[in-house]
Structure 1
């Protein structure tokens, strides 16, 4: 998922979860039980007053944070950021001058659809499949691992 914003703060991070992430997991009937983030101020703060922390608490999602100064902890995400920069942003911003955020958002969504559903990946867990194929293959594991299905 990607969503273009003009600022970076805890309310924006919570909005991204509410607008894109949770609706997807709900539509796939896969509960989002835990989320891993870095220690950025948009994700980490006082649980009683930080919008992102409050939202996670409201949705009953456990929050795990990466170890400080250890980007390899979240290596798959870091690699995705590099790929998105080189294969999406670097190309889009050379080809077109954008005047509205909605134009950027539309082009990013088109690239993400290609990335997730058409572009084969050689990375961990994909083995030459697309991320979408890998997701669909793994969904059955979710149901096996759910506590209510264990007994």
Structure 2
């Protein structure tokens, strides 16, 4: 993670911090929107390490909305049972329907914009449904448990957005 932090600092970002061994980096950028920062970071990553890696960039406001829009507030106190998938884009209804058809319980999910919220009452380790999400939805994304979501939001606030 120190090397990743250094990579972001070398790109000119400030207040760079990483979160555990998750590949999450919180930073402050002087200019650029999420799309342009994503392109810049992906290109630099490929130059440095010689392979392409999908990068997602979200701002502090996005994390604030993610937490505010949680459709399962009653389980927010059980952070290993509530997960948020940051999706590259909002899925279409046609893309979401097959996933809904396969969600037969005990899990439940809801998609709001480019976030899939998943309540897995038995945890991800025992969930069969969780493995169906990327194969069925076909919209690239990355999942974080609720504890990680809240930690990243707090870090983003300290970085000033």
| TM-score, with structure 1 as normaliser | 0.27
Higher strand share: 2
Higher helix share: 1
Identify the structure with bigger relative contact order (alpha carbons < 8 Å, sequence gap 6+). 2
